[in-house]
Amino acid sequence: MSNKTTSSNKYRGYDINTGKDNNLTCNTKTLDQIVDTVECMTKKHSKVLCTRVDIHSEQDSENIIGGKEMTRILENTKRNINSKFKNSPNKPDLHVIWTTEKTSEENNPHYHALFLVNGHAIRNGFTIYETVNKHVKKKLNTEKDGLVHYCESNQGNGIMINRNSEDFEQQKNDAVHAASYLAKTRSKEHNPKGSRVSSSSRLNKAKKK
């Protein structure tokens, strides 16, 4: 498990969130996963939608989301979204990066996830949010709302990166900056021993579309 960190507000040429006074550190493994995925996806697709969600368990319930449950939720989300586009020429090509946080020994873990999809297939981040929310409820066997939070950094429907836009580089920068929240080391001190710093989808390089 990589413990390399940075407190610089720049990483690989992108702005990252290390606080107003650069007093917050970010894990470089997670930053590399974010940058690699953004760069790979924007080479494969001329439009890429980036969406962040936070996922919680019910604090007063013994039925919580652990690492295995989180992996299954993400697998089911990807399968569900892919099935909606099985007859479409534009495939979602969903990728995800996620991290675990446990703010104290007593609190249940919660998760931060960044989804990147082909922006020609999905144009609204709420499509991803609603699918994740459905599978979180199913996994926890609850109808309670509020366990999945749609992040303000999504700037509405999500951050759309358009390779043909004059603001392409700024859009990529905005996406990396928003996603760098996942890399912060604060609030991860109580994570289960041996847990991964972060997990990400495997990147398969392809021709530009």
Kindly state the tokens that stand for 166.
Answer: 């004059």
The pTM is what? Answer: 0.91
Q: What is the pLDDT of residue 1?
A: 42
pLDDT per position in the chain (209 positions), as tens?
Answer: 457 999 999 999 999 999 877 888 999 999 999 999 999 999 999 999 999 999 998 776 777 888 899 999 999 999 999 999 999 999 999 999 999 987 767 778 889 999 999 999 999 999 999 999 999 999 998 888 899 999 999 989 999 999 999 999 999 999 999 999 999 987 565 555 556 678 998 887 655 55
